Amino acid sequence: MWHIESSARDENTLLVNESLFTLANGYLGVRGTFEEGYKENFKSIRGTYINAFYDITDINYGESAYGFPKTQQKLLNVIDAGGLEVYLDDERVTVFSDQVTYFKRLLHLDKGYSERIIKYKTKLGKQATITFKRLVSFDSKELFAINVDIQYQGNVKIISTVSADVTNFVDSHDPRVNHGEHQFLNVTHFKHKNDTSIITCKTKRSNLLVTCTSHDVYNKECESTVETTKDHIIKTYEFSGDVTFNKYNIYTDSRRHKDTIENGLSILNQVKTKSFDDLLHSQHLYMSTFWKYGDIVIEGDDALQQGLRFNLYQLLQSVGKDECSNIAAKGLTGEGYEGHYFWDTEIYIFPVFLMINPTIAKNLLMYRYSILEEARGRAKELGHSKGALFPWRTIAGTECSAYFPAGTAQYHINADIAYSFIKYFVTTNDLEFIEHYGLEVLVETARVYLDMGFFDKGSFKLNAVTGPDEYTAIVNNNYYTNAMAKYNMKWAVRIYRLLENHNSRYLGALKDRLSLTTEEITAIEEAANHMYLPIDEELNINPQDDTFLSKEIWNFKETPDAHYPLLLHYHPLTIYRYQVCKQADTVLAHFLLEDEQPLDVIKDSYEYYEQVTTHDSSLSSCVFSIMASKIGDMDKAYNYFIETSRLDLDNTHKNTKDGLHMANMGGTWMSIVYGFAGLRLKFDGVHLAPKIPKQLNGYSFYVNYKNSVLRVTVNHEQLEIVLEEGTDVAITLYGEEINVSLQQKYIKTIERDD
């Protein structure tokens, strides 16, 4: 299944489809709205977004306190260049008309473009076929291109618009969506000449510029007129008979471009000589390269296969590919969570690109390094004399979370980021990167844990934190936070000592710059070695925190289905008083750091927390799927997996209209690779322990490890490992080491739990 399709024209489905049919390239994203617009009374979130292009808004508190962030950044809906209206003999074409005899739209996952086909019978009885194609280029990141092919024997009029009259979407009933100011752009430059329109806007407070340079290309002579208003350029073209019309829109912003107008014109001059077919060809080549080692094949379920490929495609479209951008919780598909970057990137999305495109993974780490200075400033605001505390949610580096119990208190963000730096090093052996960037991040994040923690009865403890489970806040010794902090601190010491032997000169310069002493390194090591990891001997589980098990269990039986997610129906204090989890917390720690606990503790913890977890967060089911595979319950592993695979395609959380769930999409990939196949990347190499649910016939995927590419194929009879590229790879398979050589197949009978 290499495409998704829809023939829906009802309002609710259209809003969801706007997200599903988004086109993007990591820099620029355009929601899947119709060029010609909707009915007058139909809602639409008509959005065009540039990754990391933001304005600043005030955070208004009824009661504020020291260290509360006063402002936040907000991803902006920028200039709309997608407008194209079509008239046939002065009759406006709309897909909502009874004159439409056929309608279908498709998103081609293998070719990187969308297509919309309309067959229309005019009131005069004439037949027309109109095909819209659009793409957001992976080769020229600033380009959003539209192609319209009209087959009609009569007069054809096309109205092409560029509009700066844009606002951000507002939903006052949902805290996950913007509910404040919604208009942020002022027009500063306005010009039209020779079928080229230019509009430049400036943000109100961040003083960023965005320019849209739009150029129309058509294949036959026509009559044309131009009308301008204070924020619109409206171009009208009239043709006779069949016509092909292209619209090339170039978006430049001042975060990446020195002169947005001149750079926009220069890029336009490069791309406007290319036909739309040329652009489609380049797009197809890019996607073919991505899918060569990015595809996961599922045998036995076409719907799951479609869901997997759709999720990977949308991750590729939304992930930032430069140092000033990352990947937002909703990517470039909508305005949910206001375009902010969270820990989702490191724990759920980074692992995907680490395996299939390490260059993109490295860029994600470089973004975090680029905001290290802001993180140092935030640590000082929180009372830490040294170190860096990364923001819970941000775009440009400063904290944007207004609710500290479920935001700033999530100190695990530091260890999450450090974890990704470590996994990148373990997987790529990129020593130069870890020297110049990684160690600094590891030390600065570890310093915060050293500063906030304390020794109590021989154990090192961390108080007043919130773990991944946002239904439990401000607790002492959250297991996840403590375990991840321990890993962060241990690796800071390990890399420090590695550089002592490998590059003492660079290490000396870094120590001087950070005022880092050997005594401090020793103190970090001592704290890590004595980190307190709570254990309940009677239940044989790791308590989520010091008080979690002492609380009353939430009354799930009496909670109506309509009251989920709980966060929309109960005050936070009500939720905090009970044993109830929004998402995996301790179970997630057992996945990421499985060597910290024996399997029986992991299993008993899984079974305990499964009973009190609502999965109100889309980040949860994939983790339970992975750990169900770990403990050998493949039926549960499969059931949790299918909840993740089509979450957006089937709109199971009922909020896909606000943007796609990027972390869940990464989690779908992880459910197979880390779950079914048991992949772990450790200091001693690649570990695999493949299993297969009875509901599937087979699956296969690729692993990129130290520039060697492995293909792993699993069915009910055997598993096969092939080294596609690179040098020999040693793998720990079911606990035994094997060696895989180039162009040789390693085949083994699959191990079954039954």
Average pLDDT over residues 2-14: 93
Is 168 within the bounds of a domain?
yes
Residue 235 has what pLDDT? 97
- The answer to whether residues 397 and 514 belong to one domain is yes
- CA-to-CA distance for 381 and 369, rounded, in angstroms? 19
Residue 667 has what pLDDT? 97
Tokens encoding 264: 């926009």
Binding residues for substrate: 343-344, 582-583
Q: Please pick, among 91, 338, 374, 470, the residue that the annotation labels catalytic.
A: 470
| Percent of all residues in the chain with a pLDDT value above 70, rounded to a whole number | 98
- The answer to whether residues 686 and 622 belong to one domain is no
Q: What is the pLDDT of residues 643-685, one digit of tens each?
A: 999 999 999 999 999 999 999 999 999 999 999 999 999 999 9
Whose structure tokens read 């019309």? 245
Q: Which three-class secondary structure string do you get for 680-735?
A: EEECCEEEECCCCCCCCCEEEEEEEECCEEEEEEEECCEEEEEEEECCCEEEEECC
Q: What is the pLDDT of residues 720-743, one digit of tens each?
A: 999 999 999 999 999 999 999 997
| Average pLDDT over the chain, rounded to an integer | 95
Average pLDDT over residues 202-229: 96
We report the CATH number of the domain holding residue 704 as 2.60.420.10
Residue 652: give the domain boundaries.
Answer: 535-662
| Active-site residue flag, 63 | no
33 alpha carbon, distance to own chain's centre: 21
Residue 169 has what pLDDT? 81
- The answer to whether residues 426 and 544 belong to one domain is no
DSSP letter, residue 474: S
- CA-to-CA distance for 353 and 559, rounded, in angstroms? 39
- The answer to whether residues 87 and 177 belong to one domain is yes
- The answer to whether residues 267 and 388 belong to one domain is no
Q: What is the pLDDT of residues 218-229, one digit of tens each?
A: 999 999 999 999
Is 296 within the bounds of a domain?
no
- The answer to whether residues 190 and 73 belong to one domain is yes
* Total number of domains in the chain: 4
Among the candidates 271, 293, 327, a domain finishes at 271
In 462-541, where does DSSP find H-type helix? Answer: 479-502, 504-514, 518-529
- CA-to-CA distance for 21 and 43, rounded, in angstroms? 16
- Give the model's confidence band at 157: pLDDT under 50 very low, under 70 low, under 90 confident, else very high: very high
The answer to whether the CB of 670 falls within 8 A of the CB of 311 is no
- CA-to-CA distance for 337 and 176, rounded, in angstroms? 5
Residue 744 has what pLDDT? 84
- The answer to whether residues 502 and 539 belong to one domain is no
Among the candidates 506, 533, 560, a domain finishes at 533
Question: In this structure, is the dihedral angle defined by the CA atoms of residues 498, 511, 593 and 420, taken in order, positive or negative?
Answer: negative
On the question of pLDDT at 487 being above 60, the answer is yes
- The answer to whether residues 683 and 557 belong to one domain is no
Select from 365, 336, 335 the least CA-distant residue to 349.
365
Residue 531 dihedral angles phi and psi, to the nearest 5°: -60, 135
- The answer to whether residues 214 and 246 belong to one domain is yes
In this structure, the number of other CB atoms found within 10 A of the CB of residue 368 comes to: 26
Q: What is the pLDDT of residues 273-315, one digit of tens each?
A: 999 999 999 999 999 999 999 999 999 899 999 999 999 999 9
Average pLDDT over residues 32-48: 92
Q: What is the pLDDT of residues 363-422, one digit of tens each?
A: 999 999 999 999 999 999 999 999 999 999 999 999 999 999 999 999 999 999 999 999
- Give the model's confidence band at 423: pLDDT under 50 very low, under 70 low, under 90 confident, else very high: very high
- List, as one string, the DSSP characters of 572-618: HHHHHTEE-BSS-SHHHHHHHTGGGS-HHHHHHHHHHHHTTB---ST
Residue 752 has what pLDDT? 63
Q: What is the pLDDT of residues 231-275, one digit of tens each?
A: 999 999 999 999 999 999 999 999 999 999 999 999 999 999 999
Structural element, H or E, at residue 226: strand 223-228
Binding residues: 343-344, 582-583
On the question of pLDDT at 8 being above 60, the answer is yes
Among the candidates 635, 662, 689, a domain finishes at 662
Amino acid residing at 112:
G
Is 336 within the bounds of a domain?
no
- The answer to whether residues 7 and 117 belong to one domain is yes
- Give the model's confidence band at 39: pLDDT under 50 very low, under 70 low, under 90 confident, else very high: confident
Is 333 within the bounds of a domain?
no
Bridge-based pairing state of the strands 729-733 and 685-688: parallel
On the question of pLDDT at 213 being above 70, the answer is yes
